[in-house]
Structures are given as structure tokens and as C-alpha cells.
Amino acid sequence: MGPGDESGPYPILRAPVRPLAPEVRTGIAAASGIAVGQAFVIDRRRQPTPRRHLLPEEITAELVRLDEAVSLADMQLERLKRKLKESDESDSSVILEAHQLILRDEHLLGPTRRRIRDEKLNVEWALRKTVAEIQQRFDAIDLPYFRERKSDVAFVGEQVLRNLLDATGGVTWQPPLGAVVVAHDLSPADTVHLHRHQIAALVTDAGGRTSHTSILAQAFGIPAVVGLEDITEAVGTGDLLIVDGNRGEVILCPSQSMTDDYKQQARSEHAKIVQLLAERDSPAETTDGVRIRLVANIELPDEVPIALEYGAEGIGLYRTEFLFLDREDFPREEEHFMHARGVLRRVAPYEATFRTFDLGVDKVAPFLSRITGAHPSSSEAEPNPALGLRSLRLCLKEPAFFKAQLRGLLRASVHGTMRIMFPMVSGVEELARAKEILDECRRELQKEGLAFADHIPIGIMIEMPSAVMVSDHLAKEVDFMSIGTNDLIQYSLALDRLNEHVGYLYQPLHPAVLRMVKYTVDAAHAEGRRVGMCGELAGEPLLTVILLGLGLDDLSMNAASLPLVRRLVRQLSAKEARALADEVLKLPSASQIEAVVRERLQRLLGDDPAWSTLTSTVRRSGKHAH
């Protein structure tokens, strides 16, 4: 959640309320696994200030950052004021008006700008110094009223600082090894940072099952429970917690016997995975000879070796944008080329599918403001970000930015086996425009004498109901398709994937979802195209039988899910899976479908250890409504 979502004007520090007895909190199971560890509570509201001296050429950009952060703070205050007025608290809104005046006051902005320009201090440092100076002046006035105003200035300064830090990632936390990180919300960039600190688990108040933070946690093998609503109010740093990422539960104040029990569960889960990994090199083939390709989703090039270790037969989805989320400037062609070449070489002899930039919503980078003209993480910039200027639309709006990526990818294509995939395609015209730009890049490179592969399969993600409905037309224009269920579910069930309050509506087995998958698969096959799935659903072991039955050719998932899915494919018959798919497609609700699938799997796999692994590792798909 961005700074625009802060709910209160004052940094409120609440004392942790510890339950005396063990207490189980239920949220959304976001990343599987069990962890026991001490909490490390992250309070986004108190971040340390980065300090550095600027190069002369950085000064202008730093002044722009100040203006953007101030405008955003102004909008945040305005919105809060509105909320207070709506709730009949108009008296309190006077305080906010005062804050807006302070925010625009030259006594705050003038000296801050001067420090940036003359002393070459970065904006956060310059602002901190100015705030401290103003506070000292208030101290010197011997009137209680003015001394009290000190805290108003401090608040305004903090608000601007928070906006600045959020815009640049601003991640400086240092959790100890093996900590359970507890936060209100975490951005994908935060999660990458925390992963480097080898945390044991993460739990958050906000978030959804397919938010990119959850996807990253799963990719990094960090057990995670999200959507806990108020866990940050109940836990203090140092508290012992049990995190069960399979069931979506967090246990506060666990007893010794509970701790021992969960540690034992974690050990046996690990043993099961080791056992499954022994089959890593066996083909993912059903008992009646249907071969499925199991590939991996990655967010960062470093994940390639892990994916291969888990038995991936290539990369089915490389989310290329993650590498650049902390960037102020546009990623350059040369960087795209180097990274893509690196990935292709590491994946060889397998194929890697590069999805072009899918930026926006929770994947905001500071450089986006150059395209949208607004603060990238502000909700004012995109009042409805999932339906706004994101993904392919954004790239088509800024061809130069898009071409840098396409040219880099094309040039790298001679170093391995590449596929290029466009996300968020709504229909044939958008696809035609993307392909036109790609052809333009080919022509330019040819003229410049730069090499690229003769045949690069071009594909699209099917993530919108509109794309499903015209998948027959789209199939004629591409070499392959991949169904992105994270967005497809979001758009077809009208369900914001980041919003914890509607997490309970996330129903991968909703008949509408299954019918859309079937429709797409049939359309692709009618044109002789391969069709895969790369949303989180592809890695849900409970669904493997249905996905097989629906006829998907490739399943692309986070690496950790590969061993169990491989095992399941090898235990099932495609004929039985097809019969089951036909049967459930006629059912009216997700719960009826789930009951039939569970009953049938138990019948088919009952004696197989895969069944017990499946029942212990299947993540709850969502929290139920209260």
C-alpha cells in the first residue's frame, strides 16, 4: 500500500497487546511452509533518513522529488480532511488545514531547496535539517502555544519524508537472521530486500493471495500469511510466533508443546520435499502417456538455478520488471540485453519466456512518473490502478521506453532459446500494435547490422475476460498463449487481488474461471497453438488434475511447487482427468467443484504418499468472510 493509503495524520505508537494464552490468528495463506521465530516488527512510519551528498547533475532531479513529495502530502491531507468532515469531525480538520499551511510555507521549503542546491544535500537530509532548525526556533519562544506547534512541524516533515522514502523503496531495515517479519504491508521491493536478510517468515495486516509480495515470498521459499488485518497491533518485536503458511495461521504466545509440534511438522515437510525431489528428472507424463511441460516462474535472474534444481524444464514466465523496481531512470537497452543474455545462458538448453514489462499497480518504479506525469505510488496518480495505465498499455503509450526492452531482448535472442510474451492484451488491435513495434525494432537492428534470432515465438498472456472471448482471433496471431489467472480471476470476479477484505472471494475453482480456461484452451488448440498457464493456479496441487483435464500443455509455477505437481501428473491418467473436468464444468459453484475434486483425488491417490503431502501442503485459497 502506498503512502496515499495512510489512515491517520499522527504516527501512533501502540503498545503491543499480548494475549496471555496462545492465540491463533487466521489470515490468507500466501506462501507455504512453517516457521517458528521471533517477531521483528517493521514500522514504516519511522524510517531512518538516508544522507548523501549530491553530484551537481543530480540537483534538479532532487528538487523535483521534493515538489512531488510535498504535492502528495498536500493531497493526503486534503483527503483526510474530507474524511473528517464526512464523519462530522470538522473541528479536527482545522489542524489539518494548519498542516497544509506549514507544508506550503516558504520557511520550510525555501531553506530545504537551498540546502539541496548550495550544500548539495539529498532531499531527505535537507528536509530533516530544516525541520530541526524550525523546531529549535519554536523552542526558543517562551509561549506554550508555540512550543506545542513543534509537533505539527515534525508531523508535516515526517509525512513528506515518508512519501520520499516510499517512492525510492527506502528500505533500510535489518531484521536478524531467522526473524518473522511483521508489517502492515510490504511492497515487492521490500520483500526482495528482506529475502536478502534470510528471514524465516513474513506476516502482514494487508495483502492478498496473489499480490506480488505473496508471489515473491512463495518464490523465495518464505512462509507467509497476509491479510491478518491487525497483527501489527498485537505483536511486538521479540515475541515468539509460529507461522503456518499452509493453513494461513499465525500463533501468538505459543506454548512449548505447540512450538515443538510445529518444529516437527516443519522437519517432516522438508523430508517430504526432499523425497519428491528425487523424481525431479522423471518426465511429467500421465499414466496414459500425455506429456505436460513443467516450467518455472521467476522474478529475478538469480532464481534460475533454484528453478532448475526443482526440476523446471525452462522458464515459462520471467517477470522482467522486478529487476528495475527501485530505478529512478528508464532501464536502458544495454541492461535489458545483458540481463536477458545472462538468463538465457543459465537456462540453456531450455527455453526462457520473457514477459515484457508489466509495470503498475503494486509494481511501481520511480521512473514511472516520467510516463504518467504523477508520483508513481500515489493513488491520485491512478485512482483505480488495476484498471489504469499499466502493463502493455503503458508500454504502448511510451514506445521509446518499450523499444529499449524489445531491442535488448532481440539482441539477446542469439544467446539461447527465447520466447517473448506480451501481458495484459485486451484484443487483436493492441496485439497488432505491440507486434508492429517489435517489427520496427527488428528492422532497426537489421539496418544497424545487429544480430537477432530468426524465429522467436511470440505469445500473449490471457488475463482479461475480453482476451478470453476473442482468444480464437488472438490465437491466429501468436505462436503461444499463457493464461494469467492472477489477473484473470481479479478481472472476472471483480476482485482486487491486493485487497485483503475481499480475499475470501478468491475462488480459483469458480465455474466462470474454469469455463474461461476451457474456452481459451480450445481456441488455442483449434489453431494448433500451445497453451499454458502461469498464474498461481498452475502450481496449486489440488488443481493439477483439473488443469490436466482441461488440456493445458504447459504449467508454469513457482519453483517450490514443481516437485509435488510433477508427482501428481505422474500418478494421474489424462483420460480420467478429462472426464473429471467435463463433470465439474457442469457444476454451479466453487465449493461443489472442490468437494468433487477432493473426493476423486482421494479415491485416485488415497494410498499414494502424494495424497498426504497434498493435503498437508495445499494452501487455503482465501480467508472466509467474518
Separation CA 80–CA 90 (nearest Å):
11
| Concatenated DSSP letters of 522-538 | HHHHHTT-EEEE-SGGG
- Number of DSSP helices (H) and strands (E) in the chain, helices first: 24, 16
Residues 149-178 binding ligand PEP (CB under 6 A) are none
DSSP H helical ranges for 105-143: 106-117, 123-140
| Shortest spacing between CB 322 and Mg ion, in angstroms | 13
| Shortest spacing between CB 357 and ligand PEP, in angstroms | 11
Peptide bond into 349 cis (omega under 30): yes
The nearer residue to ligand PEP, 234 or 298, going by C-beta atoms, is 298
In the chain the first and final C-alpha atoms are separated, in Å, by 23
Stretch 434-463: interaction string toward Mg ion, x if CB under 5 A: -----------------------------x
Binding ligand PEP (rule: CB under 6 A), the pick from 358, 382, 576, 594 is: 358
Choose the one of ligand PEP, Mg ion, none that binds residue 214, judging by a C-beta under 5 to 8 angstroms depending on kind: none
Stretch 204-243: interaction string toward ligand PEP, x if CB under 6 A: -----------x----------------------------
Separation CA 525–CA 233 (nearest Å):
52
String of b and e for 53-89 (b: at least 16 CB within 10 Å)?
ebeeebbeebbebbebbbbbbbbbbebbbeebeeeee
Choose the one of Mg ion, ligand PEP, none that binds residue 485, judging by a C-beta under 5 to 8 angstroms depending on kind: ligand PEP
| Shortest spacing between CB 8 and Mg ion, in angstroms | 32
Q: What is the 3 state secondary structure string of 256-278?
A: HHHHHHHHHHHHHHHHHHHHHHC
Choose the one of ligand PEP, Mg ion, none that binds residue 351, judging by a C-beta under 5 to 8 angstroms depending on kind: none
* DSSP reduced 3-state for 547: helix
Tally of residues, the chain = 626
| Shortest spacing between CB 482 and ligand PEP, in angstroms | 8
The nearer residue to ligand PEP, 408 or 484, going by C-beta atoms, is 484
558 φ, ψ to 5°?
Answer: -65, 145
Number of residues this chain uses to bind ligand PEP (CB under 6 A) = 11
The nearer residue to Mg ion, 423 or 503, going by C-beta atoms, is 423
487 binds Mg ion (CB under 5 A): yes
336 binds ligand PEP (CB under 6 A): no
The nearer residue to ligand PEP, 486 or 613, going by C-beta atoms, is 486
The nearer residue to Mg ion, 355 or 567, going by C-beta atoms, is 355
Segment interacting with Mg ion (CB under 5 A) among 6-14, 249-257, 332-340, 481-489: 481-489
Separation CA 430–CA 440 (nearest Å):
15
Residues 535-554 binding ligand PEP (CB under 6 A) are 535
CA dihedral 269, 270, 271, 274 (to 10 degrees): 130
The nearer residue to Mg ion, 376 or 484, going by C-beta atoms, is 484
319 binds ligand PEP (CB under 6 A): yes
301 binds ligand PEP (CB under 6 A): no
Separation CA 587–CA 576 (nearest Å):
17
Separation CA 327–CA 184 (nearest Å):
24
Active site residue 395: no
Residues 163-182 binding Mg ion (CB under 5 A) are none
Q: Given CA atoms 552, 554, 558, 561 in this order, what sign does their dihedral have?
A: positive
- Cβ 585 vs Cβ 514: under 8 Å: yes
| Shortest spacing between CB 538 and ligand PEP, in angstroms | 9
Choose the one of ligand PEP, Mg ion, none that binds residue 244, judging by a C-beta under 5 to 8 angstroms depending on kind: none
Hey, which bits of 289-416 come out as E strands?
Answer: 293-298, 315-319, 351-355
* C-alpha distances in Å from residue 128, one per residue of 111, 116, 157, 392: 11, 12, 7, 39
486 binds ligand PEP (CB under 6 A): yes
| Shortest spacing between CB 129 and ligand PEP, in angstroms | 41
Q: Residue 255, exposed/middle/buried by CB under 10 A (0-12, 13-18, 19+)?
A: exposed
Segment interacting with ligand PEP (CB under 6 A) among 123-131, 393-401, 471-479, 484-492: 484-492
Supply the DSSP symbol for 315: E
Segment interacting with ligand PEP (CB under 6 A) among 94-102, 103-111, 329-337, 485-493: 485-493
Active site residue 197: no
| Shortest spacing between CB 215 and ligand PEP, in angstroms | 6
| Shortest spacing between CB 418 and ligand PEP, in angstroms | 18
The nearer residue to Mg ion, 313 or 487, going by C-beta atoms, is 487
Binding Mg ion (rule: CB under 5 A), the pick from 175, 366, 484, 508 is: 484
The catalytic position among 99, 193, 212, 510 is 212
Residues in Cβ contact with 335 at an 8 Å cutoff, skipping those fewer than 6 apart: 408
- Cβ 245 vs Cβ 618: under 8 Å: no
Report the interface residues with Mg ion, using CB under 5 A: 463, 484, 487
Report the interface residues with ligand PEP, using CB under 6 A: 215, 317, 319, 358, 463, 484-487, 534-535
What is the set of active-site residues? 212, 534
